């Protein structure tokens, strides 16, 4: 139960952090990516804040033998740069720039009960299911690893 409640609190805090930073507004994402237009550096500060804190806490936390509510760590250990990583990030980035929505923002902004976040959320889910289907049929991901 602690494990689940922990995840709930993390989700809640994450959403509050996103809201405070202003990046639940796609205008701020587009503004950050718009380096040849009217550049808005807000996201840079948000990234710096998040990475700055976690860079330090990561090292401290990993000194423990195990996490508090679990017996094991679930942390990616892979190092190699694969075509899947590059092509996937490229596709993700194009979508992120076109819409101004990443998955976290799309879930959180569902709470606004407005139409457009719902449209984007449903399309993100569709993209994930499309990947799942294509991957199942063609082993796309392992071919690109």
Considering only residues 1 to 60 of the shown chain, the ones binding other proteins according to CB under 8 A are 2-27, 29-30, 33-37, 40-55, 57-58
Question: Judged by CB under 8 A, which of 69, 137, 138, 139 binds other proteins?
Answer: 69
Helix H or strand E encompassing 55 = helix 42-61
Interaction between residue 142 and other proteins (CB under 8 A): no
Distance of CA 46 to the CA centre of its chain: 13
139 binds other proteins (CB under 8 A): no
For 118, the 3-state DSSP assignment is helix
Backbone angles phi, psi at 101, to 5 degrees: -120, 130
Residues 83-112 that bind other proteins (CB under 8 A): 84-112
Under rule CB under 8 A, residue 143 binds other proteins? no
Rounded distance between C-alpha atoms, residue 90 and residue 129, angstroms:
18
Which residue, 37 or 137, has its beta carbon nearer to other proteins? Answer: 37
Rg (CA), the chain: 18
Task: Pick between residue 137 and residue 141 the one whose CB is nearest to other proteins.
Answer: 141
């Amino acid at each position: 139960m602690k494990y689940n409640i922990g995840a709930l609190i993390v989700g809640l805090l994450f959403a509050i952090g996103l809201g405070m930073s202003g990046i639940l507004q796609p205008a701020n994402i587009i503004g950050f990516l718009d380096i040849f237009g009217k550049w808005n550096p807000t996201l840079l500060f948000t990234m710096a804040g998040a990475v700055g804190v976690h860079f330090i806490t990561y090292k401290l936390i990993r000194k423990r033998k195990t996490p508090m509510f679990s017996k094991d760590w679930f942390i990616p250990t892979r190092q190699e740069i694969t075509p899947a990583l590059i092509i996937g990030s490229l596709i993700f980035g194009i979508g992120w720039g076109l819409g101004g929505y990443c998955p976290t923002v799309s879930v959180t902004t569902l709470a606004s009960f407005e139409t457009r976040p719902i449209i984007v959320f449903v399309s993100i889910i569709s993209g994930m299911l499309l990947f799942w289907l294509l991957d199942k049929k063609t082993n796309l991901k392992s071919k690109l690893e």
